[in-house]
């Protein structure tokens, strides 16, 4: 629990704050929130507000469906989802589990995947759970808390914009990623996905709680502030790693991912210092001349230095004035299994994870 004020409903009035907060928690990925904002707002206007519930408010055997988009965020940013996708997906889930869906949960609170579920819940007429499976964004299917606590990935359902529905029963988390990704790529690099369909009882020990409320709180923190960056850094208890200008962006889309790096040249007291952020959909590692300043699973977000609005890996451009913030992930990700699944080595970096608050030199 994060100690943020509890949100009991998402309406057109707090949707923007939610989206800003999701962008911050997106650590550059999870898709740019603009498309989710459009579809969620339309759903709220036509189907009404979405109740936000805790898992304790659901009955033990209530069916909770974690939902997300899977694919390259570049594509989801350019292609609006078909509004019937979630209806087709829900019908398939209900057919398989033989019970109605009681609530929708974001698989990933970060980025667009934290915002879209508002529209999906509204469309299905069910509440949204105040929790998610990451507490942030991650690029791969197996990088969810349900996998960290050891639930078997026994059912994945995908629905694409064309109307195809697919079900995958993988042997483990790595295969859930491989097969779901292959289907998403074949469908044009984006699909809607239900992953780890579970009961409220099983979900209680397997998710990161309170993250919808957290996102709304983060999105509200900068409103009307004279120094939004300071306000955001404060509410996150984040480290401010560098402020400067983007002088290089390398970015390529392939195999359902966006990969590359961003270089920021400091314009602060340490003018000229170069900080490099490596990305795979999300910001993974911050390097200063080979020295690690922060790494996954801790959260790393680029924000506009003036407005403190998050800048996704899709939207970062040469010349932007940005600040890089980093702050601790949920304790779940710091367990041995959490680090196996989403630590630096899970992304191919040959380095040991050091919690961001324990890393020495921070020269902002």
Contacts 24+ apart (CB under 8 A), 177-181: 177/140, 177/141, 177/142, 180/70, 180/141, 180/156, 181/70, 181/140, 181/141, 181/255, 181/256
Q: Which is nearer to its own copies, 55 or 81 (CB)?
A: 81
Is 92 an interacting residue with respect to its own copies (CB under 8 A)?
yes
CA distances to 98, 173, 283 from 357, rounded to whole Å, are 46, 30, 17
Is 317 an interacting residue with respect to its own copies (CB under 8 A)?
no
Is 275 an interacting residue with respect to its own copies (CB under 8 A)?
no
Count of chain residues binding its own copies (CB under 8 A): 20
Is 86 an interacting residue with respect to its own copies (CB under 8 A)?
no
Is 182 an interacting residue with respect to its own copies (CB under 8 A)?
yes
CB of 172 to its own copies, least distance (A): 9
CB of 104 to its own copies, least distance (A): 21
Among 59, 99, 171, 230, binds its own copies (CB under 8 A): 171
CB of 310 to its own copies, least distance (A): 32
Scanning 29-37, 137-145, 180-188, 201-209 for contacts with its own copies by CB under 8 A, the matching segment is 180-188
Among 2, 6, 178, 245, binds its own copies (CB under 8 A): 178
Scanning 56-64, 179-187, 208-216, 286-294 for contacts with its own copies by CB under 8 A, the matching segment is 179-187
Q: Give the alpha-carbon dihedral of 184, 283, 82, 217, to 10 degrees.
A: 140
Residue whose token pair is 């407005």: 307
DSSP-assigned states of every residue in 298-362: SEEEEEETTT--B--TTT--TT-EEEEEEEPPPGGGGSHHHHHHHSGGGGT--S----GGG----
Q: Which residues bind its own copies (CB under 8 A)?
A: 92, 162-171, 175, 178-179, 181-183, 185-187
């Amino acid at each position: 629990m994060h100690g943020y004020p509890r949100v009991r409903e998402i309406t057109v009035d707090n949707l923007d704050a939610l989206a800003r907060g999701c962008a911050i928690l997106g650590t550059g990925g999870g898709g740019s929130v603009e498309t989710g904002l459009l579809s969620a707002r339309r759903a709220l206007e036509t189907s009404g507000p979405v109740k936000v519930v805790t898992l304790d408010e659901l009955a033990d055997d209530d069916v909770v469906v974690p939902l997300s988009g899977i694919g390259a965020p570049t594509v989801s940013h350019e292609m609006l989802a078909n509004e019937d996708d979630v209806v087709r997906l829900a019908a398939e889930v209900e057919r398989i589990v033989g019970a109605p869906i009681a609530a929708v949960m974001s698989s990933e609170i970060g980025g667009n995947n934290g915002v879209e579920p508002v529209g999906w819940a509204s469309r299905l007429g069910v509440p949204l759970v105040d929790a998610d499976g990451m507490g942030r964004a991650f690029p791969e299917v197996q990088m969810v808390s349900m996998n960290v606590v050891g639930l078997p990935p026994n059912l994945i359902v995908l629905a694409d914009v064309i109307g195809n529905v697919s079900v995958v029963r993988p042997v483990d988390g790595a295969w859930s990623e491989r097969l779901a990704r292959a289907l998403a790529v074949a469908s044009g690099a984006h699909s809607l996905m239900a992953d780890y369909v579970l009961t409220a009882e099983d979900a209680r020990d397997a998710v990161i709680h309170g993250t919808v409320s957290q996102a709304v709180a983060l999105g509200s923190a900068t409103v009307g502030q004279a120094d939004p960056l300071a306000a955001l850094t404060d509410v996150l208890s984040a480290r401010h790693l560098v402020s400067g200008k983007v002088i290089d962006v390398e970015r390529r889309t392939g195999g359902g991912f966006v990969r590359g790096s961003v270089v920021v040249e400091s314009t602060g007291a340490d003018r000229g210092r170069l900080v490099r952020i490596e990305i795979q959909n999300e910001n993974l590692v911050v390097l200063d001349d080979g020295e690690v300043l922060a790494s996954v699973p801790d959260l790393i977000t680029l924000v506009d230095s003036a407005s403190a609005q998050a800048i996704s890996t899709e939207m970062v451009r040469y010349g932007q004035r940005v600040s890089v913030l980093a702050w601790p992930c949920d304790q779940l990700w710091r367990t041995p299994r959490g680090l196996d699944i989403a630590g630096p080595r899970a992304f191919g970096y040959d380095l040991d994870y050091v919690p961001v608050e324990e890393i020495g030199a921070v020269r902002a």
